[in-house]
Amino acid sequence: MISKEKRGVDMMQETILLNGTDLTIEDVEKVSRRRMKVEISKEAMERIALARQMVWDMASSDIPVYGFTRGVGENKDRMVVAKYYQEYNRNLILSHCLGVEPEASEEDVRATMLARLNTLLVGCTGIQPDVVTMYRDMLNYGIHPVMPERGSVGEGDITCLSHIGLAMIGEGEVHYNGVRMPAADALEKAGLKPVVLGPKDGLAIVSSNALSAGAGALVLKDTEDLIDTADILYALTLEGFRGNVTPLDEGVYRVRPFPGQARSADRVRRCLEGSYLWLPGVTESLQDPLSLRGSCQIHGAVRDALEYVKKYLLIQLNSSDDNPCLIMSENRIISCANYEPTPWVLGFEMLGLALSHLSRNTCYRIIKLGTPKFTGLSRFLTPADGRVLAYATIQKTFTSLDTEIRHLSNPATADYFSLAGEIEDHANNSPYVVKKTARIVDNLRYILGIEAMHAAQAIDLRRATRLGKGTRIAYEAIREEIPFLDQDRNLSEDIKKAYSIIKSGKILKAVMAAINDASVGQHP
């Protein structure tokens, strides 16, 4: 939910209003990458206060509570007495600072802090309000703890999230206004005081799936943009290939109504509206290779996997993953397994496999574009056979990137040990699963960029001037950065430019603006 708040003289600052229930993937992207500020709803803060009072009421009782009046992990049998609450919780933070490099990016740290803040607002944690507002203030002031991103087995990202807690108590390091400095100095510069920890605070800070969930939200946003871009470039490849458009017929999607493939086919038809491909007798091919004929189905499978993961990750971002869990309406605190992220981690594994199919299929489309028997064009799309090598060797680059993707698509969530005196005998490796999915997406930006280079070259060699409403925009965006390959040059530079075009969203934004005004299904 976006609200407007007065910030300074005559200046309105958009904010994301958090309440623990309706955080979206788009909200995470806005806060983490665009540095949008956050506020907390009055109702959510009231829940936090009530839950905290419940914690204090239990502190004076003899009820054994995990991570509160008792220790954590195998130390669950160790008593924690009231006079040692601050010391114990500080020690809990310090003892769990176990992450190893590389360090998480500032945008991933912001996504992590936002994810944890929103789940705290559900009101099932019992954390003190000062810690909750510290999450908010660190986000709004741009104080980003230095947080290693490796070391968590993903059953609660305790070894990494502890570094955020370290910064909150004025220890460790942070990035503030682009400068790395001691956390205490940054808090002082921002006019903030370090948090004094109390009962249950340490466990609440370190024990959640916020690292994998926050970073995972950004991966899903990137994947959504990627698959939309892949549809556009497939349409451009069809024009360079002089492909058969009968597989795009709406009728075949009505009788096999998988939602993802229908959406991709609709996107491709929009891009190709007005294209020469719809003219009678354009193609002599009754059926193109599967890599072209079935692209909407492959892209659609990625879309369907993406929708599955989004459904369950949104539940994660808007619910409590605390153990123990406070049920305020029943005045109970319950040991549980709400930290278990298996449903959506399995979704990321599925998404990685789907993306590996997309990658391999794209590679075959590129190979076909450079093969004369399929296109009727010159070998490797050379403008001068025998004098210019053109794309004769580039296949090694994109296939090596695909090999990495194929390796990264192998599941990792089932690889774990039994830990903590063998009481913690299940895990998910969720941060690693999310991170390897992000690497798959990034490799695909290169591969799709190389497809864009080939498609534009094939269109030029074919002298195709009647392009679709969307594909013309895509072609022009490519040619603004990468000229026609008329003689051999350093193609690493072209690849880098193509990657940047994909990652920046330049093609996607321009094409979407054009085709959203198009009349779907109208072809000459």
Identify the band that residue 424 occupies on the pLDDT scale cut at 50, 70 and 90: confident
Question: Got the DSSP string for 221-268?
Answer: HHHHHHHHHHHHHHHHHHHHHT---GGG-HHHHHSS--HHHHHHHHHH
Distances (CA, A) of 354 to 231, 262, 363, 514: 15, 16, 15, 28
φ, ψ for residue 353 (rounded to 5)? -65, -40
Instruction: Give pLDDT, residue 480.
Output: 97
End-to-end Cα separation, the chain, in angstroms: 43
pLDDT at 405 over 80: yes
Per-residue pLDDT tens for 150-191?
989 888 899 999 999 999 999 999 999 989 999 999 999 999
Mean of pLDDT values over 335-347: 91
From the list 416, 428, 424, the residue with the least C-alpha distance to 73 is 424
Crossing angle between the packed helical segments 25-33 and 106-120, to the nearest 10 degrees: 130
Per-residue pLDDT tens for 73-126?
555 555 555 555 778 888 889 989 899 999 999 999 999 999 999 999 999 888
Mean of pLDDT values over 64-80: 56
Residue with tokens 């803060």: 45
Predicted model pTM: 0.91
Instruction: Give pLDDT, residue 330.
Output: 86
- The conformational region for residue 420 under phi > 0 = left, psi -120 to 50 = alpha, else beta, is left
Pairing of strands 173-176, 143-145: antiparallel
**Contact by Cβ (8 Å): 456, 478:** yes
Give the Cα separation of 3 and 358 in Å (integer).
39
Q: Is 329 helix (H, G, I), strand (E, B) or coil?
A: helix
Per-residue pLDDT tens for 468-483?
999 999 999 999 999 9
From the list 124, 57, 121, the residue with the least C-alpha distance to 329 is 124
CB atoms under 10 Å from CB of 469, counted, come to 18
Per-residue pLDDT tens for 495-514?
999 999 999 999 999 999 99
Task: Provide the residue type at 315 as one letter.
Answer: I
Question: Got the DSSP string for 72-109?
Answer: SGGGGGSB--GGGHHHHHHHHHHHT---EEEEPPHHHH
Structural domains of the chain sorted by starting position, each given as residue range(s) with its CATH number in brackets: 2-208 (1.10.275.10), 216-328+338-515 (1.20.200.10)
